[in-house]
Structure 1
Amino acid sequence: MNLMDPYLYDDVPIVRNLLGIKNEEELIIVEAQILIASLLDIDSLLREVDFFDISSIQKIHYHLFSMIYDWAGDFRKVNIQKGERVLAGMSVQYSDYKNIPKDLIAVYEWAADVKWNHRNPDLAADFSQFMAKLWKIHPYREGNTRTVSIYMKFFAQSQGLDFNDQLLSQNVSYLRDALVMASIGEYSETHYLEKIIHEALASNNQQPFQSEKSEPAKYTSIGEYDVADYQEMPFSIHKKTNKMPDAED
């Protein structure tokens, strides 16, 4: 039985869901189908979203996942970790669950001071930083990468920026590993994320992305790792969740 993680079923390590699915592969398939369906009518929601307010990412997560999780839109109540192969099995240090609202507010305040147009010579870097800052908080028990990716697509749209979100969805494994590499504090390597974001922000005003560490044109690798064979590991409860709830995760 799982005595630590209230989001999992007691008898199987599967996230509790409104459909009662206890098979991981089935849950992944159903989640994907529901996500596609929810995107069909998301435009009406976005007209009411303030993209510089903490409620924006809550509304988007709820819209995407409310048909499958009863906690959709609610910030997680536990600390989480996940081994990452590009970090030699270590985890990104996500926000402590008690600090999620505060951390999100700080990110949105930072974003409100950025010039979100192509006259900004650092647009791709700023856009990448915004995405990585939101993703590193990981406000939800599941669905963070999908929620943040969709948020960034519509954020770009709200700012009048052309954004090729299909490039990101076609290279989702690369994107996730790039987010990992951009979210490890003083050791962050942001060039992987900036490369794909620069291409996604289509504009004749931008110069080709230049980096000494730039990868080949196709997004097939992060460092020494081939992202084509990526297998995502499940989240687990961080050991500090119950012992030190006020400590930084």
Structure 2
Amino acid sequence: MEKGFAAWNRTLAELLASEGQPDFEARVESALKTVLEFDVFMVFGYNGASRPTAHYYNIDPHRAATVIEAYAAGPYLLDPFYAAATNAAITGVRRLRDMAPDQFYSSEYFRRHYALTGIRDEVGIVCRPASGYGVVVSFTRPVGSPAFGRRDLDAVHAVEPVIRLLVERHYADSGASDRHHEQSRTPPDTINACLDRMTDGLLTPREIEITSLILRGHSNMSIAESLHIAEGTVKIHRKNIYHKLEISSQAELFARFISELAV
């Protein structure tokens, strides 16, 4: 892999020349590979709660069935990168492990989806090409490889301003009218809306809020801190939620949630 200042300058020139062209994302990938090593490279566009658009990825169809297609079918709603992309206050470099809730790596989302991707570590650049539209340029390292280190992150931070600027310019007019139409009919919180349908009025608004945080990978303590209530109160709510839904585990809750998304 070609590295160094000369390699960065050469690939950056090629990237600049490709703005608005079909090979733009591949040029972004080539430029980033001059400053750090990674495996999977993806560019996802997020318009509110609508199904995300996979603008680009560098993996074969077999692996893409899990990493791309299964993700976009519904689990993306529980992804910390989705939360970042749909939060207008967030831009720039973000690392999965820094954003993830405290029990993310033992959550059903991680066990049933993310762990199947073979990804160990993921870093993304959150870009904002237009109001209400977020693009995440992400790169990963596989299980068995070292996680991204401090030097890697420093390198990403160093090139982030120019990468983000070019990505935002490239996607500035991409599907603007469609995004406006989708935004006008997208509920403010699709997870809560889905849970409301799934439970058919069985759960109170507070219980739906807590269920949403459980699915995202928050512990009782983390939920209590997020909602500014006592941890004991969260435990009571959690017990009532499981009783009303006639389930006994987070695995059953996740399965029902994904089934509802499929419907």
TM-score (norm: length of structure 1): 0.24
- Give the number of the structure whose residues are more often strand, by fraction: 2
- Give the number of the structure whose residues are more often helix, by fraction: 2
Larger Rg: 2
TM-score (norm: length of structure 2): 0.24
